[in-house]
Amino acid sequence: MSVIELDGLEVRLGGRTVLNGLTGQLRGNAIGLLGPNGAGKSTLINTLLGFHMPTHGAARVFGLDTRRDRARIRQGIGYMPENDSFIGNMSGVRFVRYIAELAGLPAGDALERAHEALFYVGLGEVRYRNISTYSLGMKQLIKLAQALAHGPRLLILDEPTNGLDPMARQRMIQTIQEIRTAGSIRLLISSHLLRDIDETCDEVLILKQGRIAALRNLEEERRSHRNFIELETLGVIDEFCERLRQLGCECASFPGGRVKIVMPDSIEPRDLYVLAAEQAVQIRRIHRRRDSLEDIFLQAMEHVPARGELVRL
Amino acid sequence: MCRQGGNLSVYKHEYRAYEGRVTPLWARIAVLVRYGLTEAWSSRITVGLLTLSMLPVVVFLIIIYLANNPIARALIMRGNSQILAINASFFLRVQVSQCWLALVLTAWIAPRLVSFDLSDNALPILLSHPISRFGYVGGKVIALFTFLSLVTWIPCLLLFAYQGYTSPQPWMGANLQIAGGLLVGSIVWIALLSLLGLALSSWVKWRMVATGIIFAAVFVPAGVGGVASAILRTRWGFLLNLPVMMTQLWQRLLGASEFNRIGLDLPSGAIVAMLVLIGVVCAAMLNARIRAREVVRG
């Protein structure tokens, strides 16, 4: 089943069309939501939470309609907003317990899970301090703890690394990766940082001006890019290329000794060196493409599909 | 530790979904009420104000005791039956004093109930759970209403019951209108105070300022209305005067004697319409403010 299904979703706010005919199915374990400021990322999240009503079309979360099944959707969602959002005069554990009780946990279970969630995100030692005394990084973590405590099926994180120093950011990314690996919870992560999405997500939805600019499976993209290699060589490369083809590689040679190769999974880069040595070819430089997400993002920013166009997965 | 639901594992640092029992949707409002009441009680000033609000009740209790004690009656009244008369006018005084003390409590408690949520922008998180904006406001109103009940209709009806118990004649049955008036009049007033207090508090960032504004919202329009009535020689200016309106409403509900000041009488329909209008304005203010939108601090 799709985690999120968008069916010609249109949302108008203040007379302006913020989301314009979004159509697509998001199935990943960790879905990244990318786009420049004003692209409609937060509006999409707010619509999924039922804060905004669709003007046309529909959005579904785990098959539940955001218009009709708001309470049931919210029951299964943990939401970490972008900006500060807490009750400053409450202690960490009391705040998380309060939110867990609002999500439907009985008081005893809520208290137990509040303690555990705070330990899980690394706030165990400061859980009895008032939230107003927390640092910025701690405030981000308390938002994550409250989103996790009631055991949601879908965790929505809006700019989770906002304002964090490099250490705190790394820790947040690590925690998100652990949650994804655990597998019992799906993630929707909104960010304007490509790196955050690249490190945590296996699918990405890119929005531009309220429309879907791209919807891609990052795992597949990474797999294909992992096998793509560019070489700069010295020597006669015709025979070298022929031997590569015999090994199952797709190979193209260019003037100046440049060679582009798409390798099958069975071939390792080490094999290239062995083959080159046999053919008396020097490999002067080897370049593997890594920034698959950046490529997707840049392509998406150049091209915007028409309204309602179903973008390929 | 209880392990009935799926739990996070602290030591293994693993995440597991919760699979235990979930409370029904209506119970989430009870959570808001419970936390609201706890927040209200957490202040010593609240406890002090509540104690202060009980002092008039003790005084009225003593008066009822004396009025029904033959020796005290003989000593104090000395043939004048109007002194220590326990009737509708007496209970009007009880109601007026308790209801105005309820205003003081509202001015202190209402800002505590909502301003913490709003100043720290907690609404996006609170409302992302299965609770509607209506449920959120409802929970806060019930919390404030419950608290104000402790100083208004509950002690008023207890005094009424005590008078019925101590009176040598069958007093209670003959004066049921007083009990009804105390109940309805107090409920109208504290429901209005709850809405007014929360609506005004939701628009003010600082709690002490909100406290001042709640008092101002009651007394400033009263002054303006009085000036307008005096200049224009009309009684309708008193529709802005909440103390006058409420006192007249309570009088009529209890069956006590009317105001004697010429031209001050307001039709009951106009009073009710004005109270409804105030309620609608408060609801509109809450509707505009209680939203799960992100507040970006600049």
- Nearest CB partner across the interface for B35, out of A98, A106, A153: A98
Q: Say what the pLDDT of residue B69 is.
A: 86
Instruction: Tell whether A163 lies on the interface with B, counting CB pairs under 8 A.
Output: no
Domain residue spans in chain B? 26-289
Nearest-Cα distance to chain A for B21, in Å, is: 7
Cβ A98–B31 below 8 Å, yes or no?
yes
Cβ contacts of B4 on chain A, cutoff 8 Å: 109
Query: A223, A313, A219: which is closest to A264 by C-alpha?
Result: A223
Q: Is the pTM of this model over 0.80?
A: yes
Q: Say what the pLDDT of residue B296 is.
A: 41
Cβ contacts of A46 on chain B, cutoff 8 Å: 292-293
Best residue of B125, B205, B207, B293 to probe chain A, by most A CBs closer than 10 Å:
B125
Q: Say what the pLDDT of residue B102 is.
A: 97
Q: SS in 3 state form for B106-124? A: HHHHHHHHHHHHHHCCCHH
Q: How confident is the model at residue A264 (pLDDT cuts 50, 70, 90)?
A: confident
Q: State the DSSP code for B14.
A: B
Q: Say what the pLDDT of residue A224 is.
A: 66
Q: Say what the pLDDT of residue A271 is.
A: 85
Nearest-Cα distance to chain A for B28, in Å, is: 5
Q: Say what the pLDDT of residue B2 is.
A: 41
Cβ contacts of B296 on chain A, cutoff 8 Å: 83
pLDDT digits (tens, 9 = 90+) for B176-235: 999 999 999 999 999 999 999 999 999 988 889 999 999 999 999 999 998 988 888 888
Cβ contacts of B32 on chain A, cutoff 8 Å: 102
Q: To the nearest whole number, what is the mean pLDDT of chain A? A: 88
Q: Say what the pLDDT of residue A254 is.
A: 87
Nearest-Cα distance to chain A for B226, in Å, is: 41
In one-letter notation, the amino acid at residue B20 is: G
A112-to-A138, A143, B18, B39, B154 alpha-carbon distances in Å = 20, 17, 11, 21, 37
The whole-number average pLDDT for the span A247-256 is 86
Q: Using CB atoms within 10 Å of the CB of residue B75, give its burial: 0 to 12 exposed, 13 to 18 middle, 19+ buried.
A: exposed
Instruction: Tell whether A143 lies on the interface with B, counting CB pairs under 8 A.
Output: yes
Cβ B122–A178 below 8 Å, yes or no?
no
Distance between CA B122 and CA B133 in Å, rounded? 13
Q: Say what the pLDDT of residue B200 is.
A: 96
Instruction: Tell whether A128 lies on the interface with B, counting CB pairs under 8 A.
Output: no
Cβ contacts of A70 on chain B, cutoff 8 Å: 130
Cβ A178–B1 below 8 Å, yes or no?
no
How many residues comprise chain B? 298
Q: Say what the pLDDT of residue B4 is.
A: 46
- Nearest CB partner across the interface for A86, out of B13, B31, B120: B120
Domains annotated on chain A, with CATH: 4-221+294-302 (3.40.50.300), 236-280 (no CATH)
CA-nearest residue to A88 within chain B is B120
The answer to whether the beta carbons of residues A192 and A162 sit under 8 Å apart is no
Select the highest-mean-pLDDT range: A213-217, A246-250, A299-303, B180-184. Answer: B180-184
The whole-number average pLDDT for the span A206-235 is 83
The whole-number average pLDDT for the span A207-233 is 82
Nearest-Cα distance to chain A for B43, in Å, is: 12
Cβ contacts of B294 on chain A, cutoff 8 Å: 42, 81-83
pLDDT digits (tens, 9 = 90+) for A104-152: 999 999 999 999 999 999 898 999 999 999 998 999 999 999 999 999 9
Residue with tokens 């949707």: B25
Cβ contacts of B28 on chain A, cutoff 8 Å: 101-102, 104
Low-confidence ranges of chain B (pLDDT < 70): 1-15, 79-82, 258-263, 293-298
- Would you put residue A35 in left (φ > 0), alpha (ψ -120 to 50) or beta? left
Query: B204, B187, B28, B45: which is closest to B109 by C-alpha?
Result: B45
Nearest-Cα distance to chain B for A281, in Å, is: 50
Residue B9, helix vs strand vs coil: strand
Provide the sign of the torsion angle of the four alpha carbons A59, A61, A65, A66, taken in this order: negative
| B120 Cβ contact list (under 8 Å, min separation 6) | A84, A85, A86, A87, A88, A131, A132
Best residue of A13, A49, A85 to probe chain B, by most B CBs closer than 10 Å:
A85
Distance between CA A74 and CA A51 in Å, rounded? 11
Cβ B116–A82 below 8 Å, yes or no?
no
Cβ contacts of B125 on chain A, cutoff 8 Å: 79, 81, 85-86, 99, 143, 146
CA-nearest residue to B19 within chain A is A151
Instruction: Tell whether A89 lies on the interface with B, counting CB pairs under 8 A.
Output: yes
Q: Say what the pLDDT of residue A313 is.
A: 39
Cβ contacts of B138 on chain A, cutoff 8 Å: none
